């Protein structure tokens, strides 16, 4: 015969195990943070009716991937030609975006954000601030990478006309 005190302890232990459940299930149900779309692109600006291939921009993009919701999109670009000539030209574009998921392989992303351009030469420096609006289309392969096509319209205080940037690149699927 089992004493009552042991029976009570056994019932309490069984009740505690049933209430707590497995340890892993609570941790597995926590929402994971959304992944990032990361990509690279080459862009050609167009200003005053002419393409400016000398100002080609090599960029890296980051988008916090939350389909159909407002999220962060950012880009950091350099102008390789200026590096070869001893200068440094940078473009930083933080933005808000809505990655609209049409299918698993097609993403359309309107963006709105700021633009900061900076140019540094051995004897002079300069910078400009503005804003941009744009649209990117991402076509993904069944594997991990996809094609990114983008166009952005940049408005700067010092320019009379907008600068258009046409980009082609690759993006890693989340």
- Residues 19-42 have pLDDT tens digits of 444 444 444 454 566 699 999 999
Backbone angles phi, psi at 23, to 5 degrees: -65, -40
Structure tokens at 78: 């350099």
DSSP H/E element including 4: helix 4-20
pLDDT tens digits along 85-138: 888 999 999 999 999 999 989 999 999 999 999 988 878 888 999 999 999 999
CA–CA dist 155, 161 (Å, integer): 7
Query: Which positions ≥6 away from 143 have C-beta within 8 Å?
Result: 173
Domains and CATH numbers, the chain: 36-172 (2.40.160.20)
CA–CA dist 152, 131 (Å, integer): 10
pLDDT bucket at 12, cuts 50 / 70 / 90 = low
């Amino acid at each position: 015969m089992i004493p009552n005190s042991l029976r009570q302890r056994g019932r309490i232990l069984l009740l505690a195990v049933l209430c707590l459940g497995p340890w892993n299930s609570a941790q597995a149900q926590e929402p994971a943070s959304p992944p990032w779309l990361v990509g690279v692109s080459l862009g050609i600006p167009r200003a005053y009716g002419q393409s400016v291939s000398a100002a080609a921009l090599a960029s890296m993009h980051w988008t916090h991937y939350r389909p159909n919701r407002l999220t962060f999109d950012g880009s950091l670009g350099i102008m390789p030609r200026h590096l070869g000539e001893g200068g440094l030209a940078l473009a930083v574009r933080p933005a808000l975006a809505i990655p609209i998921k049409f299918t698993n392989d097609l993403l359309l992303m309107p963006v709105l954000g700021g633009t900061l351009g900076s140019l540094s030469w051995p004897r002079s420096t300069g910078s400009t601030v503005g804003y941009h609006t744009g649209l990117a289309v991402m076509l993904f392969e069944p594997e991990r990478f996809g094609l990114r096509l983008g166009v952005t319209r940049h408005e700067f205080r010092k320019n009379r006309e907008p600068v258009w940037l046409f980009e082609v690149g690759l993006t890693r699927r989340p």
